[in-house]
Amino acid sequence: MDYDKKDPRMFDEVSAQKQMADAFSRDEPQSEVSLSEGFKLPSSNHSSRKIQTTYTIRPEIKQGIEKLASKQGFRSSSAFVDLVLEQVLNQSK
């Protein structure tokens, strides 16, 4: 049997276009993280062994992190993020 694009049993153009649009859509589901009432922003700077890691975030999130870190007395936003994520991970155990 030869491939015939016009035969709907072989190829559905509308369905294929929808599947391609869905596959390459930039819309990502927004998930929310629920923190316990005991969650507190860290306010001290602890020193321990660290590894360098890179994450991509939106500019407004980066600015917010930097403001919070400065407000909490941290010299670097990475130290602040490290302690915040540690608390989040501890809560999820």
Model confidence, pTM? 0.50
Count of beta carbons in the 10 Å neighbourhood of residue 69: 22
**How far is the C-alpha of 76 from the C-alpha of 82, rounded, in Å?**
10
Per-residue pLDDT of the chain (93 residues; tens, 9 = 90+): 555 556 556 667 777 777 777 766 655 544 444 566 777 766 555 667 788 889 999 999 999 999 988 888 888 898 889 888 888 888 887
φ, ψ at 38 (rounded to 5°): -80, 0
Residues 64, 71 contacting (CB under 8 angstroms): no
Question: In sequence order, which ranges of 1-93 are alpha helices (DSSP H)?
Answer: 13-23, 59-71, 77-91
Task: Give me the torsion for CA of 42, 44, 45, 50, rounded to 10°.
Answer: -30
